[in-house]
Amino acid sequence: METCLRGAKPQVAAQVLADLEATPRTSFAGAVLGLLDFDPAAALAIDSGRKLRIYSPFLEELGLVPIHERVRGIESRGIPDCSHWVHLDCPDAFNETLLEFLES
């Protein structure tokens, strides 16, 4: 969990941890195990519409392969100085980025 919270604002980290604490263990375990069999590239390839990935560059610093490099046609916009929880850490920048995409 420490990695997912790296760089998060203190109130965001507290919110994420509180939400995690309130989540039944079986639900969390099921979600994590479900990720092992889930292929996001295949799921995203089904829809031919425009797609946008709003992300924090810190994930790439961890060596994770961004989804836009595995699925062609995904537009990608990074928001610096945010944790994995971009929508919580930088809500104004996230919303502005999303609205620009939707209006284009």
Q: Domain limits at 42? A: 2-103
Q: How many domains does the chain have?
A: 1
pLDDT at position 46 over 90: no
pLDDT number for residue 1: 65
Q: Tell me the whole-structure pTM to 2 decimals.
A: 0.81
Q: For tokens 């519409």, name the residue.
A: 49
Per-residue pLDDT tens digits for 11-35: 999 999 999 999 999 999 999 899 8
Per-residue pLDDT tens digits for 50-71: 999 998 887 777 776 666 677 7
Q: What is the dihedral of CA 62, 68, 100, 50, to 10 degrees?
A: -160
Q: Enumerate residues 6+ apart whose C-beta is below 8 A from 3.
A: 62
